[in-house]
Structure 1
Amino acid sequence: MRQHLTRRLIAASSAAVVTFGGLAAASSAAAVPAGESGAGVSLLSSVDEAAQQEALDYWTAERIAEATPLDRTIAAGGAGGDAGGAPAEAAASPATPVPSTRSTAATPQQPPTLTRSARTAAGTVTGDAVSRATDWTGGTQSRVGRLYFTQGAGKFECTASSVDSPKGNVVVTAGHCLTENGKPSTNVVFVPGLDGTEEPLGRFSIGKLFTTTQWRTQDQSSPAALNFDVGFAVASPRDGRSLKDTVGAYGIDFTDTLSRVTVLGYPGKALNPDGSVKVDGSTLQYCTGWQFTDSGPGSTTDRATLCDLAGGSSGGPWLRDLDPVTGAGTVTSVVSFSYDNNASVLYGPLLGEVAKAVYTEASTA
């Protein structure tokens, strides 16, 4: 689903956990009405087993082929003049970390000037930074996969990943993959470890969707919403095994600073000028490099990194200390948007207490 908004921003605030345990499951045709709290936790929907099975059955090969990648492109002028003016042609070597030119509380300044390093072999997590989307060949990443869903009559796809939780059933993605303008996504299915058209780890149905109240209730083209563009889905067990037991789970950190990250995602199908297939839409791709802060008057509090992953990668994990052999890593953000004047820089929300409260609620659902 390719949507173009005028702008998106994100801010952090503290939150307590709110319990929605008293809400009943929805019928197969409808979801439980969303619940809100001042803590920033929003339950978008809760569906019963029959509805979950309908969602699994809904995604035939034909419908998957029709799914449109969700894309967030924000007009730079609408988000504060030169916001998004991060180094368009930059990439940093891990041996020389790029410091931020401002703290998250400092007056916005120009981003650091960097020099692009040569692209390295796919799958390399140590070594020079990779700022152009590159096919991942560093081993199976079973924890990350496709998220298929419908919104209205449309069929769409994002990226999502399994994160650690007490019950082993939580998936993290972008808030805009779970709701648009307050309406929850439907027919939501998570396909971890997608490899081309193969689904070696099967599918997981989704019982509940959560996001931040800020994302759900605010103008989703405004800074007030965009700084909280994150969501969590609750995956139902399959054959008596949790999602974590089946595919593993990344750690998740709500206090991360400007660490080096590897961004994973499944960009949508893209063609070369001659009509040949550039990206087939089902191949995991990655970038890796240092984070920096958004810049420019009125800019977001999001983290930024040099990466040109295209639409469909929305919700993909930003991973600190990713081990390409074991697949272990820690999620510090998710793919949220890029500015229309600089597609080579991706932005992801600065996770904080609000996102932690939403995660906690999803973990206990």
Structure 2
Amino acid sequence: MKHTTFRAAVVTAVLSLAFGLVGVPAQAAVKPFWTPEAMRAAVPMDHLVKAPAFTPQDVAKGQRAIIQSIPNGGGVWTGGGQVTHTAGRVFFVFNGQNASCSGDAVTSTNGSVVVTAGHCVKYQGTWHTQWTFVPGYDNGNAPYSQWAAKTTLTTPQWEASEDMNYDVGMAVVNPLNGQRLTDVVGAQGIAFNQPKNQSMYTFGYPAEAPYDGTKLDYCSGTTFTDFLLTKDHGMRCNMTGGSSGGPWFLSFNEGTGAGVQASVNSFGYVFLPGYMFGPYFGADAQNLYNRAQSS
């Protein structure tokens, strides 16, 4: 099966020395734009940027790493619970194309923070527009309405060089009818600087074949640390493009659907199908979160 690809920043590039976090205003009045038909037709973000395949030997020669959207597989989440309210699809416009990712509502002082991947808010020097979050998305339906972003933010490393180790993005959404996002859908916990190689659950809305982005899917298992080009978490998982930005949970309770978010779906290697990788939530992700919840 042919997989779509997108180009990562060189992992060995010098990290940005900036300590500030980068954010830009996002368009607010997006509800009329995202009709059910427009949401169904939005393509996975990973599908929009293609690059040639490469072999592991190419990396040793110093060539830039090419990564693919997360491969096939996963399974529909039928357990219900809080994750069916807090997780959702993210829609935006990238270079004139309607596109989609996944995201999750987390606890915050402003009650309005959505966590996603960095490439789901900014890619190739372009900040996405018409950015909106649809929690509990179900085949074109928005059971908890659409939440337009007031501001989108990312880490300084992703802003400067699209370093995959820091592929984390966040959005602060506007209130609706006098209510904040987490007042309506609830919130998952979030944690930083946690031990690696733990059991985790990951969720998202894969929208490339054999999936169509209509339902919430998941994977679970013991994670490992990427031994190739990043220091990310890794897990056996076959969700496809469109699941990018979906949450990775520690201490996830299948009965309640609640957990503590500690990563997001980010990428998979072309030459290593069946595995998903997500950035470690360290100090830079925590700084980003603090910036978002105070916005």
Which range, TM-score by smaller chain? 0.7 to 0.9
Note if 1:63 corresponds to 2:38. yes
Aligned positions of 1:52-91 closer than 5 A: 52-53=28-29, 55-71=30-46, 75=54, 77=56, 79=59
1:76–1:201 CA distance, 2 compared to 1 (3 A) = farther
Note if 1:323 corresponds to 2:264. no
Measured in 2, the distance between the counterparts of 1:147 and 1:10 equals 30
1:6–1:264 CA distance, 2 compared to 1 (3 A) = closer
- Structure 1 partner of 2:69: none
Measured in 1, the distance between the counterparts of 2:144 and 2:12 equals 34
1:187 match: secondary structure: strand
Match of 2:79 among 128, 138, 143: 138
Measured in 2, the distance between the counterparts of 1:216 and 1:348 equals 17
- Structure 2 partner of 1:295: 227
Identity of aligned residues (%): 34
* Structure 2 contact 8–164 (Cα < 8 Å) conserved: no
Gaps of 5+ in 2: 67-71
User: CA shift at 1:350, angstroms?
Assistant: 0.9
Measured in 2, the distance between the counterparts of 1:252 and 1:10 equals 28
Aligned positions of 1:22-171 closer than 5 A: 38-43=18-23, 45-47=24-26, 51-53=27-29, 55-71=30-46, 75=54, 77=56, 79=59, 132-140=73-81, 141-171=84-114
1:356 match: secondary structure: helix
Note if 1:266 corresponds to 2:205. yes
Measured in 2, the distance between the counterparts of 1:305 and 1:262 equals 9
Measured in 2, the distance between the counterparts of 1:287 and 1:145 equals 16
Q: CA RMSD in A?
A: 2.6
Is the radius of gyration larger for structure 1 or structure 2?
A: 1
Match of 2:281 among 325, 340, 351: 351
Note if 1:253 corresponds to 2:184. no
User: CA shift at 1:238, angstroms?
Assistant: 1.1
1:75–1:256 CA distance, 2 compared to 1 (3 A) = farther
1:75–1:185 CA distance, 2 compared to 1 (3 A) = farther
* Structure 2 contact 268–275 (Cα < 8 Å) conserved: yes
Aligned positions of 1:170-181 closer than 5 A: 170-181=113-124
Measured in 1, the distance between the counterparts of 2:292 and 2:42 equals 26
Segments of 4+ moved more than 6 angstroms: 10-13
1:288–1:234 CA distance, 2 compared to 1 (3 A) = same
1:355–1:204 CA distance, 2 compared to 1 (3 A) = same
